[in-house]
Amino acid sequence: MSLENYGLLIEAVAGPGVLHGLSGVIASHGGDIGTCSIIENTAQGARIYFEVRTGNIAEIVEDLQVLEIVRMVEQVQSMDRIYGKRIIIMGGGAQVAQVAIGAIVEADRHNIRGEHISVDTIPLVGEIPLADAVRAVPRLPRARALVLAGSLMGGEIEVAVREVRAQGLLVISLNMAGSVPDAADLVVTDPVQAGVMAVMAVADTARFTVERLNRRVF
Q: Residue 66 contacts by C-beta under 8 Å, 6 or more apart in sequence? A: none
Q: How many domains does the chain have?
A: 2
Which SS3 state, helix, strand or coil, does residue 170 take?
strand
Indicate whether 115 and 138 sit together in one domain: yes
Q: Are residues 177 and 207 in the same domain?
A: yes
Give the span between the Cα atoms of 50 and 36, in whole angstroms. 5
Whether 15 is in a domain gets the answer: yes
Using the 3D structure, point to which of 51, 80, 109 is the last residue of a domain. Answer: 80
Q: Quick check: is 35 in a domain? A: yes
pLDDT tens digits along 45-55: 999 999 999 98
pLDDT for res 214: 67
Same domain, 93 and 194: yes
Domain-located, residue 218: no
Do 41 and 136 reside in the same domain of the chain? Answer: no
Examine the fold and report which residue of 62, 80, 98 is the final residue of a domain before the chain moves on: 80
- Residue 195 maps to a domain: yes
Closest CA to 4 of 37, 36, 34, 49: 34
Is residue 70 located within the same domain as residue 132? no
106 and 63 belong to one structural domain: no
CATH number of the structural domain spanning residue 31: 3.30.70.260
∠ Cα 137 138 139 (to 5°): 85
- Sheet harboring 117-123: ordered strands across? 117-123, 85-91, 143-149, 170-174, 186-188
- Per-residue pLDDT band for 153 (boundaries 50, 70, 90) equals very high
Tell me, what CATH number does 188's domain have?
3.40.50.10550
Average pLDDT on 159-167 reads 95
What's the confidence (pLDDT) of residue 4?
86
50 domain residue, yes or no: yes
Strand pairing category for 45-54 and 4-12: antiparallel
103 & 151 share domain: yes
Same domain, residue pair 92 and 115: yes
89, 191: one domain: yes
Among 19, 47, 80, which residue terminates a domain? 80
Residue 173 lies in a domain: yes
pLDDT (average), residues 4-28: 91
Q: Is the pLDDT of residue 212 over 80?
A: no
Q: Which amino acid is at 149?
A: A
* Position 194 in a domain: yes
Closest to 87 in 3D by CA, of 157, 138, 147, 175 = 147
Residue 180 has pLDDT above 70, yes or no: yes
Residues of the domain holding 107: 83-212
Give per-residue pLDDT as tens, 95-141: 999 999 999 999 999 999 888 999 999 999 999 999 999 999 999 88
β 170-174/143-149 pair status = parallel
Distance of alpha carbon 100 from alpha carbon 158, whole angstroms: 22
